[in-house]
């Protein structure tokens, strides 16, 4: 079993109080100067009947999947959180109606409550013929590809979905199940309760992989102590998430359709960037309640003297904008750090597997456009397990760092190197034919064998080489170079083997 790791960013109290006060003061002055900035229900073209319906309704019950962060979820206080919460804050403002979140145990419980009319609205859901018997669906407002999670020691290709005995975990009741079975009739799916159970099965090797929403599975891997797992592939399928409303009250569905169609694309992109790029836990701090009351009281006092202190207020606004620019610069610096961490292997400091997959896909697209060749090298340190067993993992980690530095100094400026997983490394060689890549691999092999690591230790490596074939995808190319590496191991190690498949 493993423990959940919470990702959380905390500012110092002094800095947070200052930023919070400055932001509220600036927002109050902007509202005074331009009170017509807020969007109202009239802005989205509601009919009189729709406005009367919403006015009479007053409160909408929004049912939320409690276990699908970063897209949908509830916190310990049963409050709506996640990407959909930001969207529904906008919808609430557009429609001028309050929204509450009833208690829902899981996705199946949500569907049951929607059928029994205990939900007025479902925050994010795929349309289906069966669900249309009790729900109306808006135009989709969020699209999400399906991703595949496996262990590092298992290479995923799309053909794995129908391999003999290969099993994949999916969330029970997920509408993607029908799409997967329709495209891959022979697939073996194991239905589980939630992300955590699915990850456990993959981690323990009980299933080959887990298929789920791209952003959600990446969030789960980061939030759980699962250093053996990674997103190793994707499927040409996606979720098309809509707002669903009870179909016995059609005015509710037509009002939400207008709200969805009037979403600002820039605002929607900002919400997606916020939740998919990085997830920040909201920390409850009751001192903020008192701080808010204090700030609101201060704003009320300032408003009484507004006419006499207009000059001072203008100066405060200029100072506020300066401080906000400083805060923005700090946040941009933090985002750059997070982006660098997301593509870097934590131990060796070189690119990680996620970045290598991205660069390999780009190299394939570039090769198709320019008709130029490129090759890859997959190498594995020979008998590295014996090093860990004999000297311990700390010594092994130091050798991996030194080995990575040696690889970086051994390749060309145009080449890309990263850690593929464990003691495996991948090198992408742009504009390089098979012979040129084989020569480079042999040079690297010799340099590794001749290098004296710490304590005069000597390491050897086996290398596989493959050149990109026309119309070939990344998974197939990796599978070929992996077979070449396997031959190098089988034929005695410390050698280079080349995949010489005929081009098509």
Catalytic residue positions, numbered: 423
Q: How many CB atoms lie within 10 A of CB 361?
A: 12
Q: Which helix (H) or strand (E) holds 370?
A: helix 353-370
| Six token digits for residue 208 | 């080959």
Residue tagged 């199946």 (tokens) = 108
Compute the distance between CA of residue 166 and CA of residue 155 in angstroms, rounded to an integer.
Answer: 13
What's the 3-state SS for 185-254?
CCCEEEEECCHHHHHHHHHCCCCCEEEEEHHHHHHHHHHECCCCEEEEEEEEEEEEEEEEEECCCHHHHH
Distances (CA, A) of 63 to 73, 245, 346, 375: 10, 10, 39, 51
Pick from 410, 395, 417: which is nearest to 448 by CA?
Answer: 410
State residue 497 phi and psi, 5-degree precision: -120, 140
Contacts of 168 (CB under 8 A, 6+ apart): 148, 161, 187, 188, 189, 190, 207, 208, 209, 210, 211
**307 burial via Cβ count (<10 Å: 0-12, 13-18, 19+):** exposed
Angle at 149 between CA 278 and CA 106, to 5 degrees: 75
* 73-100: burial string, b at 16+ Cβ within 10 Å, e else: bbeeeeebbbbbbbbbebbeebbebebe
DSSP-assigned beta bridge partners for residue 109: none
The two three-digit tokens of residue 202, written as one number: 């993959």
- Give every CB contact of residue 242 below 8 A, 6+ residues apart in sequence: 124, 125, 126, 127, 137, 138, 139, 140, 141, 260
Token pair for 368:
């198709």
230 near 143, Cβ under 8 Å?
no
First to last CA, the chain: 47
Tokens of 115: 């059928």
């Amino acid at each position: 079993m493993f423990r959940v790791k919470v990702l959380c960013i905390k500012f110092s109290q002094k800095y947070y109080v200052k930023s919070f006060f400055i932001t509220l003061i600036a927002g109050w002055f902007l509202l005074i100067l331009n009170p017509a900035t807020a969007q109202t229900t009239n802005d989205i073209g509601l009919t009189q009947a729709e406005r009367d319906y919403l006015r009479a309704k007053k409160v909408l019950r929004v049912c939320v999947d409690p276990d699908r962060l970063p897209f949908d979820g509830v916190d310990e206080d049963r409050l709506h959180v996640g990407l959909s919460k930001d969207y529904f804050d906008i919808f609430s403002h557009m429609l001028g109606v309050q929204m509450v979140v009833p208690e829902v145990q899981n996705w199946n419980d949500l569907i049951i409550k929607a059928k029994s009319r205990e939900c007025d609205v479902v925050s994010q859901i795929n349309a289906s013929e069966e669900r249309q018997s009790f729900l109306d669906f808006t135009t989709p407002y969020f699209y999400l590809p399906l991703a595949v999670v496996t262990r590092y020691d298992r290479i995923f290709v799309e053909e794995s979905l129908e391999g003999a005995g290969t099993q994949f975990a999916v969330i029970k009741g997920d509408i993607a199940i029908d799409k997967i079975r329709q495209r891959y009739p022979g697939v073996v799916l194991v239905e589980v309760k939630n992300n955590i159970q699915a990850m456990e099965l993959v981690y323990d090797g009980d299933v080959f992989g887990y298929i789920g929403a791209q952003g959600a599975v990446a969030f789960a891997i980061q939030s759980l102590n699962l250093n053996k797992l990674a997103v190793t592939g994707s499927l040409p399928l996606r979720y098309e998430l809509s707002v669903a409303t009870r179909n016995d009250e059609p005015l509710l569905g037509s009002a939400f359709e207008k709200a969805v169609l009037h979403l600002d694309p820039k605002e929607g992109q900002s919400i997606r960037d916020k939740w998919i790029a990085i997830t920040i836990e909201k920390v409850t701090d009751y001192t903020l309640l008192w701080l808010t009351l204090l700030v609101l009281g201060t704003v009320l006092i300032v408003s009484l003297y507004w006419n006499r202190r207009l000059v001072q207020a203008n100066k405060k606004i200029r100072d506020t904008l300066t401080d906000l620019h400083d805060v923005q610069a700090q946040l941009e610096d933090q985002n750059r750090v997070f982006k660098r961490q997301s593509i870097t292997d934590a131990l060796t400091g070189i690119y990680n597997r996620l970045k290598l997959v991205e660069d390999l896909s780009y190299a394939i697209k570039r090769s198709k456009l320019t008709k130029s060749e490129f090759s890859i090298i997959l190498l594995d340190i020979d008998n590295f397990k014996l090093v860990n067993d004999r000297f311990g993992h700390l010594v092994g980690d130091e050798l991996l760092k030194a080995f990575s530095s040696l690889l970086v100094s051994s390749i060309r400026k145009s080449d890309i190197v990263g850690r593929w997983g464990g003691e495996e490394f991948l090198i992408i060689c742009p504009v390089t034919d098979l012979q040129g890549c084989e020569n480079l691999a042999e040079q690297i092999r010799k340099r590794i064998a001749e290098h004296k690591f710490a304590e005069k230790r000597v390491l050897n490596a086996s290398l596989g080489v493959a050149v990109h074939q026309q119309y070939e995808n990344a998974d197939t190319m990796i599978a070929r170079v992996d077979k070449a590496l396997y031959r190098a191991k089988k034929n005695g190690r410390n050698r280079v083997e080349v995949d010489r498949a005929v081009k098509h």
